[in-house]
Chain A
Amino acid sequence: MRLLLVEDEPELGRRLSERLRGADFAVDLATTADEAEHWPDLDKMAAIILDLGLPDGEGLDLLRQWRAARVDCPILILTARGSWQDKVEGLNAGADDFVVKPARFEELLARLNAQFRRHAGRRDNVIEAGYLRLDPLTHEVWLDGAPLVLSRQEYRLLHLFLRRPGQLLSQGAILEDLYDLQTERELNTVEVLVGRLRRKIGKDRITTQRGLGYRLER
């Protein structure tokens, strides 16, 4: 899953990006309002983490612009402004949640996952698709009730398939979800990854539509 992190403080931005990548997110980091405003593929983001006090503008203005432009992914405000006046303003401007710095990473992660769950219309954190179960909080995966060990990229790919079961996902869409802008992308990476995942969950469970993409069968 790809996240856009908008944070102007370089040290905190670097650390948060690292922790989020460690939690199997692909993270893009914007350090100014201008950079965030013109981010090329916002529609590919699973969520945005937004700081309010940016050196060249207000995070709230950015938030309002995005919502007006129908950016509908969850947006979580992560800010040092702790008053309820700021929180109410942020939520009413279109934020889905508000986390005040300094927050424990587990709390941030839990809030993010709550937003993903809410966004997908699920009541439970665990994502299920028949024989497969995935817990985004613990990163555990079960196949027919038995724990399944996956690499980081395999987990990310399965997470993407489980969030869109039955949907056809192009190689480009898969790449954009798995990798941030800085990472070099090669289409055959997707083929290799799909092949490895098929070996772990069953060959027929991911079907290929030649020239179009891949689908996780329900």
Chain B
Amino acid sequence: MREAEPREVAPSGSLRLRFLLAIALWVMLGIGGIWFSATRLFADHVEQSYHEELEVHVHELAMLLRLDDQGNPILSRPLSDPRYNVPLSGFYWQVTVNGKAPLRSRSMTRGSLDDSIAYSPHVAHMVEDGPTGPTITYGLLRQHPDGGDVHLVIATDEAELNRLIDSFTRELTWWLMALGALLLATGIAIIAFGLKPLDRLSLAIARLRQGAANRLEGRYPTEIAPLVSDLNAYVRQNGEMLDRTRVQAGNLAHSLRTPLAVLTDEAERLAAADSTRASASVLLDQTRLMQQQIDYQLARARSSARGQTPGVASHLQTVITPIIRAMRRLHPDREFSIVEHGEGDSTVPVDPVDLAELVSILLDNAGKWARLAVTLSLERNEDGRLIITIFDDGPGMTDDQIAHACEIGTRFDPVMPGSGLGLAIAKDIATSMDAILHLARGRTGLVAQVILPVVHA
């Protein structure tokens, strides 16, 4: 992949986070609602059961009440609930007849209950202080056969009811928390599963940008597939448009070069006569400049168009081998060799035509100046970037020449064939493909090094 480029669109939050927050909110509201309604229902139900039980007990107490010969209250048998016999169990009863000493349950080893709760023949209840804290108290008023009132009171510690409700609430809370966690985990799994096509799309886009693919690959759900198809159509149309632009730029250059050749020829003929030599010189200079501009602008148009295209990739050996073969034919007196250091995939995310143009310019330049040999070396640096280095055994360049070598029209030997554009074009191509072109003095000649962009994983 070419170097990480700054993103043009800043992300406005995360889709994943949005889904997660929405699910978390719904789970919290749902679980909270369940917790609230369940605890309320349970508390109401328990209270209701409690009250009914106490009402039954107070009626049972009334039914079991007898008066002995002295008119003192006694029970014909103990109440059916054994808890009334256990000291301070929280379950108490008390019977008071006409202000005499009250009859109390065995559980009530201390304290007393308020008689005033029992003031009517109907069961009444309220929360009162009891022997072991606040109690739910039920009272009933009966008439003594001899006249006077019999107050029957049944009480149960309120703490007992609260304990039941707390126990239920605690257990319910744990279960609901577990359910909430399970729902959240399920939600996260659903998000991951649901967004997986987007992850695949992201990978496919990365491969496209790296040049590992020339279209968005893979199968996508119905909702995303049209978008992927549109993107692929856009990429294809973009590539076709660039190809057409290249061809048209080439055609334009082609159509200009032929009349320019006629003009050059005419100027050369004029240069043969003394009377027109000066005019011919102007014409020749201008046609040379026109040719330079055509070559340079055409090369720029080609490389800048391709440099930004997604889906392009070059395999170095595939690109370089035919160029070396052509160079051996073009410069038969020079020995061209390739040295490869290391192994591994030598695919780079650059357009093969641009890479071929760049390497050809550098090899041809080396071939023109070399004494005997030109060597192209391929290696990978510590950052994983592929490096093409071209050495020649020619005269090389001075530091000053190197500093100006990539300027348009720079020629250090006018006798040598060429336009003085090669290295300027090479520099432009390198820049457009995010590569670095570096010229340096070698031990015997010039060293031209191209550090190619890396394919990111």
Question: With the chains together, A146 CA to B369 CA distance in Å?
Answer: 35
Contact A80 B295 (CB under 8 A): no
Closest CB in chain B relative to A202 CB, distance in Å:
34
Closest CB in chain A relative to B244 CB, distance in Å:
16
Main secondary structure on chain B at its contact with chain A? Answer: helix
Contact B330 A91 (CB under 8 A): yes
Task: Please report which residues of chain B, range 251-309, place their CB below 8 angstroms from some CB of chain A when the two chains form the complex.
Answer: 253-255, 257-258, 260-266, 268, 284, 287, 291, 295, 298-299, 302
Which residue of the partner chain, among A87, A104, A105, contacts B360 with CB atoms under 8 Å?
A: A87
Contact A85 B357 (CB under 8 A): yes
Closest CB in chain B relative to A144 CB, distance in Å:
31
Question: Is A186 an interface position by the 8 A CB rule?
Answer: no
Contact A15 B326 (CB under 8 A): no
**Known A-B contacts A12-B265, A80-B257, A111-B417; A85 and B291 likewise in contact (beta carbons under 8 Å):** no
**Known A-B contacts A87-B326, A102-B261; A107 and B417 likewise in contact (beta carbons under 8 Å):** yes
Task: Give chain B residues whose Cβ lies under 8 Å from the Cβ of A149.
Answer: none
Task: Give chain B residues whose Cβ lies under 8 Å from the Cβ of A95.
Answer: 329
B interface residues, tally (CB under 8 Å) = 35
Give the most central of A11, A53, A107, A118: most B CB within 10 Å: A11
Contact A12 B261 (CB under 8 A): yes
Question: With the chains together, A217 CA to B209 CA distance in Å?
Answer: 70
Contact B326 A92 (CB under 8 A): yes
Which residue of the partner chain, among B250, B258, B298, B325, contacts A101 with CB atoms under 8 Å?
A: B258
**Known A-B contacts A101-B261, A102-B264; A84 and B356 likewise in contact (beta carbons under 8 Å):** yes
Task: Give chain A residues whose Cβ lies under 8 Å from the Cβ of B299.
Answer: 83
Question: With the chains together, A84 CA to B422 CA distance in Å?
Answer: 11
Complex interface bits, A158-196 against B, C-beta within 8 A gives 1, otherwise 0: 000000000000000000000000000000000000000
Complex interface bits, A125-168 against B, C-beta within 8 A gives 1, otherwise 0: 00000000000000000000000000000000000000000000
Contact B326 A102 (CB under 8 A): no
Complex interface bits, B316-337 against A, C-beta within 8 A gives 1, otherwise 0: 0000001101100110100000
Contact A12 B357 (CB under 8 A): no
Question: With the chains together, A183 CA to B329 CA distance in Å?
Answer: 35
Question: Is A198 an interface position by the 8 A CB rule?
Answer: no
Question: With the chains together, A98 CA to B257 CA distance in Å?
Answer: 15
Question: With the chains together, A111 CA to B417 CA distance in Å?
Answer: 9
Complex interface bits, A56-87 against B, C-beta within 8 A gives 1, otherwise 0: 00000000000000000000000011111101
Question: Is B353 an interface position by the 8 A CB rule?
Answer: yes
Task: Give chain A residues whose Cβ lies under 8 Å from the Cβ of B254.
Answer: 53, 80-81
Contact B332 A12 (CB under 8 A): no
A interface residues, tally (CB under 8 Å) = 31
Question: Is B27 an interface position by the 8 A CB rule?
Answer: no
Closest CB in chain A relative to B141 CB, distance in Å:
115
Question: Is B361 an interface position by the 8 A CB rule?
Answer: yes
Task: Give chain A residues whose Cβ lies under 8 Å from the Cβ of B295.
Answer: 82, 100
Question: Is A97 an interface position by the 8 A CB rule?
Answer: yes
Closest CB in chain A relative to B85 CB, distance in Å:
109
Question: With the chains together, A88 CA to B358 CA distance in Å?
Answer: 12
Task: Give chain A residues whose Cβ lies under 8 Å from the Cβ of B268.
Answer: 19, 104-105
Question: With the chains together, A92 CA to B320 CA distance in Å?
Answer: 13
Task: Give chain B residues whose Cβ lies under 8 Å from the Cβ of A35.
Answer: none
Contact B360 A102 (CB under 8 A): no
Give the most central of A83, A95, A96, A98: most B CB within 10 Å: A83
Contact A82 B298 (CB under 8 A): yes
Question: With the chains together, A11 CA to B261 CA distance in Å?
Answer: 10
Task: Give chain B residues whose Cβ lies under 8 Å from the Cβ of A101.
Answer: 257-258, 260-261
Question: With the chains together, A12 CA to B253 CA distance in Å?
Answer: 16
Question: With the chains together, A173 CA to B320 CA distance in Å?
Answer: 43
Give the most central of B258, B302, B353, B356: most A CB within 10 Å: B258
Contact B330 A84 (CB under 8 A): no
Question: With the chains together, A104 CA to B271 CA distance in Å?
Answer: 12
Contact A104 B264 (CB under 8 A): yes
Task: Give chain A residues whose Cβ lies under 8 Å from the Cβ of B260.
Answer: 101-102
Question: With the chains together, A12 CA to B266 CA distance in Å?
Answer: 10
Question: With the chains together, A112 CA to B356 CA distance in Å?
Answer: 26
Task: Give chain B residues whose Cβ lies under 8 Å from the Cβ of A120.
Answer: none
Closest CB in chain A relative to B283 CB, distance in Å:
11
Which residue of the partner chain, among A100, A102, A105, contacts B287 with CB atoms under 8 Å?
A: A102
Question: With the chains together, A98 CA to B364 CA distance in Å?
Answer: 12
Question: With the chains together, A92 CA to B261 CA distance in Å?
Answer: 25
Contact B325 A92 (CB under 8 A): yes
Task: Give chain B residues whose Cβ lies under 8 Å from the Cβ of A80.
Answer: 253-255, 257-258, 261
Contact B262 A88 (CB under 8 A): no
**Known A-B contacts A53-B254, A96-B329; A15 and B356 likewise in contact (beta carbons under 8 Å):** no
Question: Is A16 an interface position by the 8 A CB rule?
Answer: yes
Task: Give chain A residues whose Cβ lies under 8 Å from the Cβ of B291.
Answer: 102
Contact B330 A97 (CB under 8 A): yes
Which residue of the partner chain, among A82, A85, A102, contacts B353 with CB atoms under 8 Å?
A: A85
Task: Give chain B residues whose Cβ lies under 8 Å from the Cβ of A92.
Answer: 322, 325-326, 329
Contacts A/B (CB < 8 Å), 8 sampled: A82-B298, A83-B250, A84-B356, A85-B353, A96-B329, A98-B330, A102-B262, A107-B417
Q: A81-B254, A100-B295 are in contact. List 9 more A-B contacts (CB 8 A).
A: A12-B261, A12-B262, A12-B265, A80-B254, A81-B250, A82-B253, A83-B357, A84-B357, A88-B322
Chain B residues within 8 Å of A, Cβ to Cβ: 250, 253-255, 257-258, 260-266, 268, 284, 287, 291, 295, 298-299, 302, 322-323, 325-326, 329-330, 332, 353, 356-357, 360-361, 364, 417
